Structure 1
Amino acid sequence: MESKNPVFARSNEWKAGYAGFDAPSSARRTPPADADARTLEDWYQRPPATPSQARRMTVDDVVVRTAGFFAVLLVGAGAAWYSNLGFGAAIGAALIAMVLGIWAQVSKKVRPGVMFAYAGLEGLFVGAISNYYTQAFGNGIVTTAVVGTLCAFGAMLVAYKTKVIRATPKFAKVLLIAVLGYVVFGLVNLVLSLTGVGNVYAGGGILAVGVSAIGVVLASLFLVLDFDHIERGVRNGLPVRESWRAAFGLTVTLVWLYLEILRLVAILRGNN
């Protein structure tokens, strides 16, 4: 049951399961071999060994925590929008958010405070970028990107639930390789842009549309991994604290998807 999502893969619970489903035999509670029926019933009715095992993660837990992250993100976005946050400050917030996001991912301990800080700083970046695109490409572009994000989320959820798209190990491996290649491409393009050599997205055109569309597809497909890992976590009986990690992973993917759709819509408007 090892998770293929990098946000979850750092946690031992996501790797090995919990509550005895996929845990090592030494961690499971095993009744005596000669126990009678009453003893067995008493054994399995015992409360968990530790308070942290008292409540298991549920889908509702993930939904509530995801909503909390987005509430903070929207506050940050609103602050950046109405204060006309400068581009430099927005990039600075994004870099700090990236560091916090990596910290939240690599830490074995679940850190809700770090995750909320990420959401607030990422909100500043999202709000500033959204404001920039609105001024450059006209009103309605943010609404279009939000609707597009919700539609992509719904489509991927339906595709996952109906098993049209399966989160198989091969699917996860290919997707992660593709995402890694896309990240490397983005870094190279950023360096070329800063050095004045050129920018793939500058001026629009078929190449810019194609590359941006690939980003939208990759972010959308990554939602399938998020859904799969959340479902596995619930099925494996992970402790409720792991719902923070699940919500954080979903939040990161949705923000990525929104930004990709926002850029694609801007390129399409610029080509008209």
Structure 2
Amino acid sequence: MRSSNPVFSRRGFSRDNGYAQFNANAQQPQAGGPAVGTAQGNPYGQAPAGNPYAQNPYAQQDVQYGAPQAPATTGRMTIDDVIMRTATTLGLLIVTAALAWALLPVDDANIGKSMGIAVGAGLVAMVLGFVQAFKRKASPPLILAYAALEGVFLGVLSSVVDNRIADGAAMQAVLGTMAVFAGVLIAYKAGWIRVNRRFYGFVMAAALGFVLLMGINLLFAVFGGGDGLGFRSGGLGIVFGILGILLGACFLALDFKQVEDGIAYGAPKEEAWLAAFGLTMTLVWIYMEFLRLIAILQGND
């Protein structure tokens, strides 16, 4: 299972089989339905060559129907594992964000120092995120360190926006992020969102284009001053803010698909940390897009 986020490459739970979880020729679990598929479409089955979980003793293949029939053991990832790991990661992020908000003032005399600390924490968090994204196994200390540092960055950034640009923006962004999460989860479980290879390809292409465009805008802003090409302010900023939120919602659907497949196919328990890592990164993406969008909207009032 690879980490899931709007920047890093997604290859799903099967590290060596590429898009195994999005195999168009295999029936995959969706919307809470039974897991039905062939050994080739199952990244946790015992047959596919090169499958990192081929010898997983917790994933047993039903010979007659091809559906994974894993026994209830503590060695397999469960939805409770994912919930607990995600709650731990997000909880740590929220705690450090609250501490940064309270302990790093953003008044005129201290904003430079506070923003310096925040940017430093954000850069280190980004490096840790890249390291974990390319690791073959989950590293809980690395994931928790990422969450703690990301919390510091978000805490100061939220304080700046809330106190100096748009009063109440942080709470509005939190509520917006929660609403998107709940909406995507309901739509996914109801079967309104079908995650397949085509959906995956569309989301990845859109994410690549979005990130490249924002990177070019940042370069113009650094060397030319202002907001570069204007993609993150004014009317264009509003449009790209909405697109960023929609893109984050699509990545949430991919996150849910990966978690569902991992549970159905008997992923090892430690994979729950990677699921938590991916969900955390996606939620951070959505929150930041909401925060930026609210700041633009209220700043234009």
- TM-score, with normalisation over the residues of structure 2? 0.75
Is 1:18 aligned to residue 18 of structure 2? no
Matched residue type, 2:103: S
Q: Is the 8 A contact 2:3 2:277 kept in 1?
A: no
Distance in 1 (alpha carbons) for counterparts of 2:48 and 2:2? 12
Counterparts of 1:103 and 1:246, CA distance in 2 = 16
Structure 1 residues 8, 168: closer, same or farther in 2, change over 3 A?
closer
CA distance in 2, matches of 1:230, 1:10: 9
Identity of aligned residues (%): 38
Cα distance, 1:249–1:28 mapped onto 2, change above 3 Å:
closer
Unaligned runs of 5+ in 2: 21-41, 58-70, 106-113
More helix by share: 1
Maintained 8 Å contact 2:56/2:268: no
CA RMSD of aligned residues (A): 2.7
* Shift in Å, 1:27: 4.0
**Structure 1 residue aligned with 2:132:** 104
Is the contact made by 2:237 and 2:296 (CA closer than 8 Å) also made in structure 1?
yes
Structure 1 pair 190–128 and aligned structure 2 pair: CA distance change class (3 A): same
Counterpart AA for 1:266: A
Per the alignment, residue 220 of structure 1 pairs with 249
Does residue 190 of the first structure (1) align with residue 224 of the second (2)?
Answer: no
Secondary structure of 2:95's aligned partner:
helix
Match for 1:246: what amino acid? A
> 1:1-272 counterparts in 2 under 5 A?
5=4, 6=9, 9=12, 12=15, 17-18=43-44, 20=46, 27=55, 55-84=75-104, 86-199=114-227, 200=230, 204-272=233-301
Of stretches 241-250 and 133-142 in structure 1, the one that deviates more from structure 2 is 133-142
1:39 match: none
- Which protein has the larger Cα radius of gyration, Structure 1 or Structure 2? 1
The residue type equivalent to 1:130 in the other structure is: S
Pairwise CA distance, 1:225: 0.2
Greater Cα offset, 84-93 or 99-108: 84-93
Contact 1:17 1:23 in 2 (8 A): no
Q: Which residue of 2 aligns with 1:41?
A: none
CA displacement at 1:9 relative to structure 2: 3.8
Cα distance between partner residues in 1 of 2:13 and 2:45: 18
SS at match of 2:136: coil
Q: 2:2, 2:274 within 8 Å by CA — same for their partners in 1?
A: no
Looking at structure 1, the residues matched to 266 and 47 of structure 2 have their Cα atoms a distance apart, in angstroms, of: 8
Q: Across the two proteins, how many residue pairs are aligned to each other?
A: 249
> Residues of 2 paired with 1:219 and 1:119: CA distance?
18
